[in-house]
A and B are shown apart, each in its own frame.
Chain A
Amino acid sequence: MEKIGLLIEIKDGEVKPANLGVLTAARGADHDLHVFLLDGDVKRHRAVLENFGAHKIVDIRCEEGALTDNPACRAAAVVEAMEHFDIHTLAGLASARGKDLLARIAAGLGAPLVLDCIRFDLAAHTAEKSQYSGKTIARIQLRGSHAIYGLRPKAVEAQPAPGRAEVVSLTATCPASGLEFIQIRQQTGDAIDLTEADVIISGGRGMKDAQNFKILFECAATMGAAVGASRVAVEAGWVPYSMQVGQTGATVSPKVYLACGISGSVQHFAGMKTARTIIAVNQDPDAAITRTCDYFAVADLFDIIPRLTRRLRQVQKLER
C-alpha cells in the first residue's frame, strides 16, 4: 500500500468542490488516501470525504486548538503529519492558497514539486503541466524520496467512490517562523472564485465602459457563473485586476467560457485555453477568437447578452 497525503481546503464551512477532483485523481488500486484536514470539522466533512474515496482522515490541530491561518505554521504542521505517518507523496489543489502551502511544504522538505499540473502519475512520479505561457505541455519527472503535486482546479472531474474512512487526530507543533498572519481582506464583494467556476463570462474592450459590466454580472447571476475580463478591461479601470484572465492574470479551466467583446489574443488565450467549451460573441468575423473557439456568433454583445439573461431567468423560473 502506497500512502498518499491529500490537502483539503475548506471554504465557507464546506469542502471546496475542486478538492474532490484531486481525491479522484489520487486514487489507485493500492493507494491509501490520507486526507489532511487543517480546518477540521471532521463530523461535518466526513461523509463527503468518504464518498470520494478517503481511507483516513487526519484531523490536524495544534496545541492551542485549531490551526491558525498562518501559512508557515500550516505548512510546518503538514510536514509534521507527513513524517508522522511516513507519507512521501502529497497532492493538493493548485488554488491560490494551495500553491502557497504546497510550495512552503516542498521547500521545507527539499522535495520536488509540480504546481498547476493537469495530470499526474503517482506511481511513475511524473506530472504534466503547461510551460512557456501555456504554449507547451511539459512532462516532468520527479525524483527523490518525496514527490508533491498541485493539481489545477477542475483539471480532473470528481467521481465518487464511496467507502469508509478512519478518523485520527494529530497535534502539531507550530514553530516560530518570522511570519505573522494578520488578516484576510476582502477587496471586492463575495465574488465567485474564477478558477473554481464552472462557467465564466468574460468581457473585453467591447464592453466599452465599467457600467456595462453589469450586463455580464446579471447574466452570470442567473447560473452562478463568475465574471472575468481581458487585460484591456482591467487596464481601463473598468474592473479590478483580480478578474483578469490570461498570461498575466488568472489561469482558468471552466466547463464553459463565454467571451464577450474579446479578440482572443495569445496572452488572453494562455489563461483560458483549457476551458472545455469556448463560446465567443464578437462583431468582427475575422477576430482571432472566431478560429480558436468552439462556437462563435458574429453579433453585438449588447444584443445577445441581455436576451440570454432574460431567457435564462425564464428557464430557471419554469424549472422551479
Chain B
Amino acid sequence: MNIYVCIKHVPDSAARIKIVEPNRIDESVTFIINPYDENAVEEAVQLKKQIDGSEVIAVALGPCAAENTLRSALAMGADRAILISTDSRPDSLVTAQALKAAIEGDGGASIIFTGKESIDSEGFQTMYRLAVALSIPVASSVVAFSLEQGFARVECEMEAGATAVMKMALPCVIGAGKALNQPGYPTLPAIMNARKKKIEHLDLADLDIKKFSGSMEVVELKPAVEVRQAKEIKGPPDTVAEEIIRILREEARVL
C-alpha cells in the first residue's frame, strides 16, 4: 500500500506568538509537527506494519524550514518525504490541490492520513478538500480505524461522547483525532536514521494545480486579549459557596 500522511509545520503551542504585520506572526519561534498529524503518522506506521510491502510517505506544503518537521515524521517511522516548498501562505483550497498534485505525481495513494485540524490556522477542512479533489471518501475526527476486506472502518467523534461508525471504500482520506492512538517518542537511533531518509523537493510554483474563484485570506491578526479582573472570594467554605451561587444567579443568570 502507498500510505500518504499530510504533515503541517506549525508554531509550537507553547510559543509566545508575536504579531509583526497586520496579518503575520513572528516566525522566529519554535516550529513543530502539528500535534494531530503525529497521530496521523502513528496510524500510518501501524498500518504499514500490518501490510507487507507498504510504504509511508509524508507530504508537507510549507517553507523550506518545514524540512525539519518532515524529519520528525521520518523519525516516527515514515519511509520518505516530499516537501512542496513555498514562501506564500496558501489557503486550504490551494493546499489541498498542492497535496493532490504531489501525491498523484508520486504514484497515487492507497490511503491518506491527515490530522483533524492544524493548530495554527484551525481550519478543520483541508482533508475534505483533498478528498473531493481526488474524488474519494473522507472522514475526520477519527478516533478508531481498522482495515477490513478492502474497506476502512472508522469511528468519528461526535458530541457528548458519541461516535459515528462508518465504512469507506479505498482509497480514502482519514483525519486523525487525538484519541486515535498514542504516538511514541522516536528513539535516538530512529532520529539518526531519519537523517538518511530521502526528502524530495517540489516547488509549489511548478505544480500544475486547479485554480478556484474562491479563496480565504487572513487580513488581520489581533492578540486574543483577556480582559478579566480576577477578584478573590474570601471567607469560610459556606461563604464561598454562597458567593458562587450569587454569581451564578445574579451575574451569569444561569440559575
User: Contacts A131-B218, A191-B161, A292-B230 given: A108-B224 contact, CB under 8 Å?
Assistant: no
Q: Are A294 and B228 in contact (CB under 8 A)?
A: yes
Interface pick from B50-58, B59-67, B131-139 = B131-139
Q: Are A110 and B212 in contact (CB under 8 A)?
A: yes
A116 interface neighbour in B119, B124, B253, Cβ under 8 Å: B124
Give the shortest distance, in Å, between A234 (CB) and chain B (any CB): 9
Identify the closest chain A residue to B251 (Cβ).
A277
Q: Are B165 and A185 in contact (CB under 8 A)?
A: yes
In the docked arrangement, what's the CA distance between A82 and B123, Å? 23
**A180 — which chain B residues lie within 8 A by C-beta?**
166-168
Give the residues from 127 to 156 in chain B that come closer than 8 angstroms, CB to CB, to chain A: 128-129, 131-132, 136-141, 143, 155-156
In the docked arrangement, what's the CA distance between A267 and B14, Å? 8
Q: Are B224 and A273 in contact (CB under 8 A)?
A: yes
Residue A104 at the chain B interface, CB threshold 8 Å: yes
**B25 — which chain A residues lie within 8 A by C-beta?**
132, 136
User: Contacts A115-B123, A180-B168 given: A296-B240 contact, CB under 8 Å?
Assistant: no
Residue B87 at the chain A interface, CB threshold 8 Å: no
User: Contacts A106-B128, A112-B93 given: A185-B162 contact, CB under 8 Å?
Assistant: yes
Give the shortest distance, in Å, between B30 (CB) and chain A (any CB): 13
**B123 — which chain A residues lie within 8 A by C-beta?**
115
Q: Are A142 and B214 in contact (CB under 8 A)?
A: yes
Q: Are B139 and A199 in contact (CB under 8 A)?
A: no
Identify the closest chain B residue to A249 (Cβ).
B178
Residue B86 at the chain A interface, CB threshold 8 Å: no
Identify the closest chain A residue to B170 (Cβ).
A178
In the docked arrangement, what's the CA distance between A65 and B217, Å? 40
In the docked arrangement, what's the CA distance between A243 and B179, Å? 12
Q: Are B119 and A256 in contact (CB under 8 A)?
A: no
Q: Are B230 and A111 in contact (CB under 8 A)?
A: no
Q: Are B224 and A103 in contact (CB under 8 A)?
A: no
In the docked arrangement, what's the CA distance between A215 and B230, Å? 25
User: Contacts A96-B159, A144-B214, A296-B232 given: A181-B247 contact, CB under 8 Å?
Assistant: no
User: Contacts A183-B165, A307-B237 given: A114-B216 contact, CB under 8 Å?
Assistant: yes
Give the shortest distance, in Å, between A250 (CB) and chain B (any CB): 9
A186 interface neighbour in B136, B162, B222, Cβ under 8 Å: B162
Report A108-134 CB contacts with B as 1/0, cut-off 8 Å. 111111111000000000100111111
Give the shortest distance, in Å, between B117 (CB) and chain A (any CB): 9
Give the shortest distance, in Å, between A11 (CB) and chain B (any CB): 8
Chain A-chain B contacts (Cβ-Cβ < 8 Å), number: 264
Give the shortest distance, in Å, between B180 (CB) and chain A (any CB): 10
Q: Are A191 and B155 in contact (CB under 8 A)?
A: no
**B17 — which chain A residues lie within 8 A by C-beta?**
132, 135-136
Q: Are B11 and A199 in contact (CB under 8 A)?
A: no
Residue A59 at the chain B interface, CB threshold 8 Å: no
User: Contacts A135-B224, A136-B19 given: A307-B247 contact, CB under 8 Å?
Assistant: no
Residue A196 at the chain B interface, CB threshold 8 Å: yes
**A223 — which chain B residues lie within 8 A by C-beta?**
248, 254-255
**A181 — which chain B residues lie within 8 A by C-beta?**
164-166
Residue B226 at the chain A interface, CB threshold 8 Å: yes
Q: Are B166 and A295 in contact (CB under 8 A)?
A: no
Residue B196 at the chain A interface, CB threshold 8 Å: no
Residue A140 at the chain B interface, CB threshold 8 Å: yes
Report B210-252 CB contacts with A as 1/0, cut-off 8 Å. 0011111111111110101111111001101111110110011
Q: Are B160 and A135 in contact (CB under 8 A)?
A: no
Q: Are A267 and B13 in contact (CB under 8 A)?
A: yes
Give the shortest distance, in Å, between A198 (CB) and chain B (any CB): 5
Binding site for A on B (CB under 8 A): 11, 13-14, 17, 19, 23, 25, 35-36, 91, 93, 96, 119-125, 128-129, 131-132, 136-141, 143, 155-169, 172, 178-179, 212-224, 226, 228-234, 237-238, 240-245, 247-248, 251-255
19 contacts between A and B (CB under 8 A): A69-B164, A97-B158, A106-B129, A109-B214, A110-B214, A129-B122, A138-B221, A139-B219, A142-B214, A178-B169, A179-B139, A185-B162, A191-B161, A256-B252, A273-B224, A297-B244, A299-B240, A304-B244, A312-B245
Binding site for B on A (CB under 8 A): 69, 71-72, 95-97, 99-100, 103-104, 106-116, 126, 129-146, 177-188, 190-196, 198-199, 223, 240-243, 247-249, 255-256, 258, 266-267, 270, 273, 276-279, 281, 290-299, 303-304, 307-308, 310-312, 315
10 smallest CB-CB distances across A and B, nearest first, come from A144-B214, A188-B161, A242-B161, A107-B128, A178-B137, A179-B137, A178-B169, A307-B241, A107-B132, A103-B128
* Sample of 8 more A-B contacts, CB < 8 Å, known A130-B224, A135-B223, A185-B164: A110-B212, A110-B213, A112-B93, A133-B13, A138-B23, A179-B172, A195-B159, A297-B234
